[in-house]
């Protein structure tokens, strides 16, 4: 079933070749088909609702630097973070955690001591909390914290060691969140890895001189890397 879902991104790539209005229409249809497939193949099986996209204007939260809710693909962590690289003292955080898809994946598939999701929207946090209750994934709820907050008002805890970002915000908000993270690392120097899915603000990360690129996982065609669908993994220098 995973194979079936993963063929859909290839169709998306094909629509880019078509281009124009027809390409746009096709891309929209494929996106909807992908959400339906995800709901059918994964959400139903895992007892959650994470597939439906949500625009922030429907919650009165629209801002040009905030990105709407669209979940990372199930399996994104599995493909980017080998289980043996996570120890029983590691702490995971998803900044802009939406309906908690990656929070659930982190809590179910790894030995994290704690898994934290920080989400701006109260409505999405409510869905995330319902997902935590209803999921059939093997998650220990007492290890999961779902926090409703603007990342700008949230202080990253000094024991966080794996940070997940699925292109949640841009520009100055992104810069402030990264400063917040680096402040935490400077308060308590420790190894921290950052997993950045759809890494559109990578130039800013690299401009700080503190992020070392470790590896890239991409769905793109050989030799071509498109920022969307790509995951980059970095370590932070202390």
Ligand X SMILES: C[S@@+](CC[C@H](N)C(=O)[O-])C[C@H]1O[C@@H](n2cnc3c(N)ncnc32)[C@H](O)[C@@H]1O
Distance CA 33, CA 27 (A): 10
The values of phi and psi at residue 128, to 5°, are: -60, -45
Q: Which is nearer to ligand X, 71 or 199 (CB)?
A: 71
CB of 117 to ligand X, least distance (A): 8
The two tokens of residue 153 are 């008002």
Bridge partners for 163 per DSSP? 93, 194
Total number of residues shown for the chain: 238
CB of 177 to ligand X, least distance (A): 8
Cβ-closest residue to ligand X? 96
CB of 223 to ligand X, least distance (A): 27
Q: Which is nearer to ligand X, 118 or 160 (CB)?
A: 118
CB of 22 to ligand X, least distance (A): 26
Q: Which is nearer to ligand X, 18 or 152 (CB)?
A: 152
Bridge partners for 54 per DSSP? 69
Q: Are 30 and 113 in contact (CB under 8 A)?
A: no
Helix orientation angle between 20-38 and 2-18, rounded to the nearest 10 degrees: 170
Q: Which is nearer to ligand X, 45 or 89 (CB)?
A: 45
Name the one residue in this structure whose structure tokens are 């802009």.
96
Residues that bind ligand X (CB under 6 A): 56, 66-67, 69-72, 94, 96-98, 101-102, 118-121, 124, 150-152, 166-169, 173
């Amino acid at each position: 079933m995973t194979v079936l879902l993963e063929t859909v991104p290839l169709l998306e790539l094909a629509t880019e070749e078509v281009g124009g209005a027809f390409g746009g229409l096709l891309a929209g249809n494929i996106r909807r088909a992908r959400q339906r497939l995800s709901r059918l193949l994964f959400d139903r099986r895992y007892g959650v609702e994470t597939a439906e996209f949500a625009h922030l204007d429907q919650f009165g939260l629209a801002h040009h630097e905030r990105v709407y809710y669209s979940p990372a693909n199930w399996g994104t962590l599995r493909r980017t973070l080998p289980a043996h690289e996570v120890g029983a003292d590691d702490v995971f955080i998803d900044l802009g955690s939406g309906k908690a898809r990656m929070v659930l994946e982190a809590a179910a598939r790894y030995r994290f001591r704690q898994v934290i999701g920080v989400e701006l929207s109260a409505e999405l946090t409510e869905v995330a909390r319902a997902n935590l209750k209803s999921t059939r994934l093997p998650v220990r709820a007492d290890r999961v914290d779902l926090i409703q907050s603007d990342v700008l008002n949230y202080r990253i805890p000094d024991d966080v060691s794996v940070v997940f970002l699925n292109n949640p915000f841009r520009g100055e908000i992104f810069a402030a969140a990264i400063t917040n993270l680096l402040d935490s690392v400077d308060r308590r120097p420790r190894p921290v890895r950052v997993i950045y899915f759809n890494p559109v603000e990578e130039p800013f990360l690299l401009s700080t001189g503190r992020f070392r690129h470790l590896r890239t996982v991409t769905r793109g065609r050989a030799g071509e890397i498109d920022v969307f669908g790509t995951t980059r993994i970095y370590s932070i220098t202390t």
